[in-house]
Chain A
């Protein structure tokens, strides 16, 4: 089988890989493909975990300030709404898109594609959903948001006591699970499975 490097377009022959192996382009060094044992099963399992964490991360306060016996807390949605009301609509939309909408779309698309495949059928609109997934993935920035929360935590620490919320921990774990999904998901396995089922 011939494949083209997605970064330099060099044609090269596909070789079978040992477990855990990585095939790199002979010319530019880009990763062509990796050995992904049980890629789809693992991605699906991680996606289910990520959905639970995502719900927790959105439902509970991220951090709170305690000042004179009073605790003020904020959720992610609250953050988006405050920015919107402060007339920072573009920034609000950006935060909403990168921390809520895109990760949610990504998790929904993974579930939509992988769950039916696991049950032995190819879902309708398989190809467009796959393309949407690929387009959405660079815009989910859970890990950057997490670092942003930590920086603001330090910034506010001199003003008041900091009360870490449930969502802070959920976000921290969600960040790791999302990173695991990125490394486990293998589009080649997805297409191989889909065409085997058709």
Chain B
């Protein structure tokens, strides 16, 4: 499904076009359902979430027009945010921002390494390769599965604060790499 077609469908949905809404559902519900399934891990919950997500899409379509972002990215963000909110509401996690794990200063890549990497483009995949593989894995599964810091720590068998530090340093390295 070309992004342009999806953008057109969303703009028509914003005008109350039910046929466009139906077409948008047909085109994107398998992807968004997959988001719900991966994060909520329960088919009934995922089906309920998918309904809520498309109700939101119907009501928020008019906001899309002004955002100018990739339409599938916009739809996926609605699905991820809804699913993660559900997950966190159902199974609360400890707060993170005011906790430890802010020892995130980093020595940075050495100049030679940076010079080599510079020519490799800015795509996230290239930058992910600069991270140690277990940390890159933690970043990716946090995003894809909506895992909490505690779940990530359990999965990687490290203390919670260590996981926070891992992920925060990884985010800064990614930011630095993407900005390079």
**Do chains A and B interact in one complex?**
no
Q: Interface on A for B, CB 8 Å cutoff?
A: none
